[in-house]
């Protein structure tokens, strides 16, 4: 399973494969055409409560990962995304966070790859 992550503000590339926006809220300052997403799967994003608690504070990343993984385990949207990932050669999870290492797309990509190896 080839799962990549990319900021939605970065230009789309031909090798992105299926582009899935994994934010609950549409990213500021970018049009739908410029985002070039194939699917906006907002229900796979962290809950509003978890997103607000995390606040992209790097020291909370480990606990955020645990909590978000628990949400994903119970999420029909995560199961839908696993199916899409299995049906495509490559998917790119796009997100709007500034921090490229501490965000939900990184956790979600690891989750998908781990689920694919079961």
Number of domains observed in the structure of the chain: 1
pLDDT of amino acid 115: 67
Beta-bridge mates of residue 92: 4, 19
Mean pLDDT by 10 residues, the chain (118 residues): 95 96 96 95 96 94 97 95 93 96 96 73
Given the structure tokens 């781990």, which residue do they identify?
114
The domain of 98 spans 2-116
- What is the DSSP code (8-state) at residue 113? H
pLDDT of amino acid 41: 96
Query: Three-state SS for 23?
Result: coil
Beta-bridge mates of residue 4: 92
H or E element: which one contains 62?
Answer: helix 61-73
Query: Three-state SS for 20?
Result: strand
- Residue 51 vs residues 48, 60, 61, 114: alpha-carbon distances, Å: 5, 11, 11, 22
């Amino acid at each position: 399973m080839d799962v990549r992550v990319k900021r939605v503000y970065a230009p789309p590339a031909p090798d992105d494969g299926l582009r899935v926006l994994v934010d609950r809220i549409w990213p500021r300052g970018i049009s739908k055409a410029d985002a070039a997403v194939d699917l906006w799967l907002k229900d796979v994003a962290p809950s509003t409560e978890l997103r607000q608690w995390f606040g992209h504070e790097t020291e909370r990343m480990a606990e955020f990962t645990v909590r978000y993984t628990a949400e994903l385990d119970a999420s029909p949207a995560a199961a839908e995304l696993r199916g899409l990932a299995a049906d495509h050669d490559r998917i790119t999870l796009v997100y709007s966070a500034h921090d490229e290492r501490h965000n939900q797309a990184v956790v979600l990509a690891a989750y998908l790859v781990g689920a694919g190896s079961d």
